Amino acid sequence: MNQICRRGYAVQSNVYSAFLKEVSKNKYDIEFQDIDKTNALLKKNSIAYADLIGMDKGELCKILNVDGVISGDIRMSKPMSETSAVVLAVLVGASGTTNKTDVALTIHDKKDSKLLW
């Protein structure tokens, strides 16, 4: 498994955990499918991680037997090398970010693949 897939599965796990915490606080009146079930259904249907990018979200909902899917885009950057961050800290007493991750999530519905959020 390549590094991108590992990161994708790590984000999947973290997002799922975050939603479960909110569910436990009664913030949602919906259920979130267990990610192990999701990944097993994808595997059963011969859908690899890399295939998900181009898939129709409504079709994915049908395969997973869910009303909607949460998907997203992950962008990772390294605005400053670790060496530069150390030099900056030594020279001016301030440190900068050496790694940055931006995540944008979307929700599409089963009925017509419409973007809901």
For residue range 21-66, what is the model confidence (pLDDT) as tens digits? 888 888 777 889 999 999 999 999 999 888 888 889 999 999 999 9
Neighbours of 52 (CB within 10 A): 14
* Cα 3 from Cα 31, distance rounded (Å): 30
Average pLDDT in the 6-23 region? 85
pTM comes to 0.72
* Cα 88 from Cα 62, distance rounded (Å): 52
CB of 88 closer than 8 Å to CB of 52: no
Q: Residues 6 or more apart from 42 whose CB is under 8 A from it?
A: 48, 52, 63, 64
* Cα 107 from Cα 72, distance rounded (Å): 9
CA 12 to mean position of chain CA atoms: 5
* Cα 12 from Cα 24, distance rounded (Å): 18
Which of 66, 73, 60 shows the shortest CA–CA distance to 34?
66
Round the average pLDDT of the chain to a whole number and report it: 80
pLDDT > 90? residue 102: no
Kindly tell me the sign of the dihedral angle through the C-alpha atoms of 47, 49, 53, 59: positive
